Structure 1
Amino acid sequence: MPKVKGGFYAVRKGRSPGVYHTWYAIIAQIKGFAGAVYKKFSTSTEAEKFAEGRSNPEVGVTSILDSARETRRVETEGTSTRTVAAASASTAFTAYEKTRVVQVAAVAVDADERDCDVVYCDGACKGNGQVGSIAGVGVWWGVNDPRNIIERCPGDQTNNRAELIAIVRILETTPTSKRTLVIKTDSQYSIKCFELWFPKWSSNGFKTSNGTPVKNAPLIQYLASLLETRRRKGQKVRLKYVRGHNGHEGNEHADRLANMGTVLPPVPERNWERLRKIMETTTTTSEDIMTNKNSGPSISNQEISESLDVSRDSDTVFRSLS
């Protein structure tokens, strides 16, 4: 069996023993489970044997809390490798879970979504609007789905920014398709930005009714360019509101991932204006951005690499609010 980058995580004793593809996928299975036994393997065969009890665990394989001091590298397909401080993440996750006890409903598939790609996203911010706030971004496609994203919000730490960036990350990491992309969010602010306010902002230089600059304008304009490019390529994107903290499985999972993102190391702000200019080049794709195609001489490889954290195999990113 060939080795796979990122490895396989086997749970022998936990809530749901089995083999998982990411570190965060097993947290729910072993966190708080007395005597949990798990281990990482480079091949699925070894992982399956361990999970089924056909191999002996190494000394020291215990629960997540015993190994939480280690810093683990988490690799998720479709995103870049991120270093996660496991101690901080697990502690925050435990505290968060104690404050949130909900009855989670199964993900319902609406009749008009059966031929669509459906994804949930959320932004979280602890201490929103206060000095020292921390914000995170979560994207949830499904249980154990390698496309799921847990990230720290770059730049200013606010809830609205995290909500917008969650949508940005979906568009940056999701390949183009002829299937409608349905992005479900509990952020009415994000939806209203494009359904109600964007046309007016575009015509008045992104000013509010009292003449002050619109908050998050460069970020909103970059997101608009991602959506518009996708529209030009023939893919529809629907931003759909779901009520938050209401027991909806997809939203609850996205919320959980976003809260885990708040404890990751801080990341610098991205240059949204330059990224927008790159995306507005007709033939530009996210892969072009990573390889510096069509970017012009004024934008360096280093700046692009630091500003746009997407994988090389991501496809073009687009828009259409139907």
Structure 2
Amino acid sequence: MKNSYYAVANGYTPGIYSTWKECEKQIKGFRGARLAVFFKFKKTLSNSSQGTSREQTTSKRKFVTSDDDIAKLKRYKSTLYENDCANKILRDFRGDIGAPIVYTDGACSANGRRGAKAGIGVFWGDDHPDNIAEPLKDGPPTNNRAELMAVIVAVKQAVNKGLSCIIIRTDSNLLIQSMNNWIKSWRLNGWKTANGQDVKNKDLIVELDKWLKRVRFEHVAGHAGIYGNEKADELARKGAALYNS
């Protein structure tokens, strides 16, 4: 009997999935989704000189990239084939640089006004023990500050796990621009902007600067149905609800 399992290379949460239902959840609606289907089958090897035969379990991989190919996969029934190959694929498919993908978000009700409540969200995956939904614990409650703190929390989690690199996906354009472009000039200017003013949320920016070599930042569209981002937003809003001024 042929079994199959699915390795999601590019999706909301890359990894190995044992059923099509689990896999589809990670790729449906994801632009540029990419996965590999692994088929486990047995073949008989014969030894003509000794008149004996034996069975060998092998696997065959098929990469799937088009919507048509993805639709065709629904006919397969699958079970996870636990072996060294599956573990290797799991490692390899954590983003194109071999790093886990984590979604972060910040939320703030009444942002910039009296009575504001801010929270952070960190999403590693469904039911993951490192998912975080916490109130912002330091500094003024603002959305931008919560966005930065969520990243700091995620990076520190990665460091504690012994991970050398992590991919942060966020819908914050400000955070992406800050980390990928502006931070270099800020550092050279003593954490001053081009106008000579202190960089906003300087303490968090300086903290993140320590970890930049461990992080790659990727932007995703907000409120566009991207599963990981929606989950991070949900966690951040839960965290904001716990905020006490």
What is the TM-score when the length of structure 2 is the normalising length?
A: 0.59
Match of 2:197 in 1: 212
1:247 aligns with 2:166: no
Match of 1:141 among 114, 124, 141: 124
Q: CA deviation at 1:189?
A: 1.0
Match of 1:257 among 235, 239, 245: 235
Q: CA deviation at 1:110?
A: 5.2
Q: CA deviation at 1:218?
A: 1.3
For 1:161, give the aligned amino acid.
R
Give yes or no for contact 1:107–1:248 (8 Å, CA) kept in 2: no
Match of 1:317 in 2: none
1:164 aligns with 2:148: yes
Match of 1:182 among 152, 164, 167: 167
Match of 1:121 in 2: 104
Give per-residue Cα distances to partners, 1:85-106, cap 9 Å, x unaligned: xxxxxxxxxxxxxxxxxxxx93
What is the TM-score when the length of structure 1 is the normalising length?
A: 0.45
Larger radius of gyration: 2
CA RMSD of aligned residues (A): 2.0
Give yes or no for contact 2:105–2:236 (8 Å, CA) kept in 1: yes
Aligned with 2:224: secondary structure?
Answer: coil
Percent of aligned pairs with the same amino acid: 41
Q: CA deviation at 1:176?
A: 2.2
Aligned with 2:26: secondary structure?
Answer: coil
For 1:156, give the aligned amino acid.
P
Give per-residue Cα distances to partners, 1:12-41, cap 9 Å, x unaligned: xxxxxxxxxxxxxxxxxxxxxxxxxxxxxx
Q: CA deviation at 1:184?
A: 0.7
Give per-residue Cα distances to partners, 1:56-104, cap 9 Å, x unaligned: xxxxxxxxxxxxxxxxxxxxxxxxxxxxxxxxxxxxxxxxxxxxxxxxx
Give per-residue Cα distances to partners, 1:43-63, cap 9 Å, x unaligned: xxxxxxxxxxxxxxxxxxxxx
Give per-residue Cα distances to partners, 1:176-207, cap 9 Å, x unaligned: 225x4211111111111121111111121222
Q: How many residues align?
A: 155
- Which protein has the bigger strand share? 2
For 1:177, give the aligned amino acid.
L
1:193 aligns with 2:184: no
Gaps of 5+ in 2: 1-23, 28-32, 36-92
Give yes or no for contact 1:171–1:226 (8 Å, CA) kept in 2: yes
For 2:195, give the aligned amino acid.
N
How many angstroms apart in 1 are the aligned matches of 2:207 and 2:99?
Answer: 24
Q: CA deviation at 1:210?
A: 2.1
Match of 2:58 in 1: none
How many angstroms apart in 2 are the aligned matches of 1:121 and 1:177?
Answer: 17
Match of 1:106 in 2: 25
For 1:142, give the aligned amino acid.
G
How many angstroms apart in 2 are the aligned matches of 1:240 and 1:266?
Answer: 31
Aligned with 2:235: secondary structure?
Answer: helix
How many angstroms apart in 1 are the aligned matches of 2:157 and 2:244?
Answer: 21
Q: What is the 5 A alignment of 1:1-322? A: 106-108=25-27, 113=95, 115-154=98-137, 155-174=139-158, 175-178=161-164, 180-227=165-212, 231=213, 236-266=214-244
For 2:153, give the aligned amino acid.
R
How many angstroms apart in 1 are the aligned matches of 2:146 and 2:243?
Answer: 15
Q: Residues 203 and 187 from structure 1, CA distance in 2 versus in 1: closer, same or farther, beyond 3 angstroms?
A: same
Give yes or no for contact 1:106–1:248 (8 Å, CA) kept in 2: no
Q: CA deviation at 1:214?
A: 1.2
Gaps of 5+ in 1: 1-104, 268-322
